Amino acid sequence: MTRAITLLLVFLCGTAAAHGPENRPDLGWRGPVSSFDPSTATTARTNAVQLDLDIDGRTIKLFVRDGEGNPVDVGIAEAKAFITSAGKTSWCILQPAGMNMLSGEGEFAREPATRIDISLRLPGRKPINQDFRPFR
């Protein structure tokens, strides 16, 4: 009886060694793991961008800040303002005019129905679209 158990154990050990882990990297696909990573919450907050619009005569000024209120460098940013005012639609390009400011000249009437849609592209980020109603 002990011989039978010994032979069985030797057989099982031999098959376990034959089917054990191999010495090569696992290149198989694995599904995503669902877990909360607290660093992503901080990253999402710092990647958020806040836009503030200021109108001075015909000049449109756009100020860009990050999620914590710090100025964002807009030296190579691209921005357009689509202006809907008094039944007319026009657009202007906003050029960098300071560390976190873009500005441009636009045609619009100072009425509550005036709407300015901003399209902003910052390097390494998704395009940002936001509309403003500056005269309400």
Average pLDDT of the residues in 5-29: 65
- pLDDT on residue 46: 47
Q: Are 84 and 67 in contact (CB under 8 A)?
A: no
Of 79, 78, 88, 83, give the one whose Cα is nearest residue 116. 83
pTM, two decimals, is: 0.65
Residues 113 and 130: their CA atoms lie apart, in Å, by 16
Q: For 77-87, what is each residue's pLDDT tens digit?
A: 999 999 999 88
2 phi/psi in degrees, rounded to 5? -65, -35
Q: How confident is the model at residue 27 (pLDDT cuts 50, 70, 90)?
A: low
Residues 103 and 95: their CA atoms lie apart, in Å, by 5
On whether residue 105 sits in a domain, the answer given is yes
CB neighbours of residue 52 within 10 Å: 12
Domain hosting residue 112, numbered range:
49-132
Domain of residue 125, CATH code = 2.60.40
On whether residue 53 sits in a domain, the answer given is yes
- pLDDT on residue 3: 82
On whether residue 124 sits in a domain, the answer given is yes
On whether residue 113 sits in a domain, the answer given is yes
On whether residue 126 sits in a domain, the answer given is yes
Q: For 42-89, what is each residue's pLDDT tens digit?
A: 445 446 889 999 998 899 999 999 888 899 999 999 999 999 998 899
Alpha helix locations (H) across the chain? 2-18, 38-47
Residues 11 and 127: their CA atoms lie apart, in Å, by 64
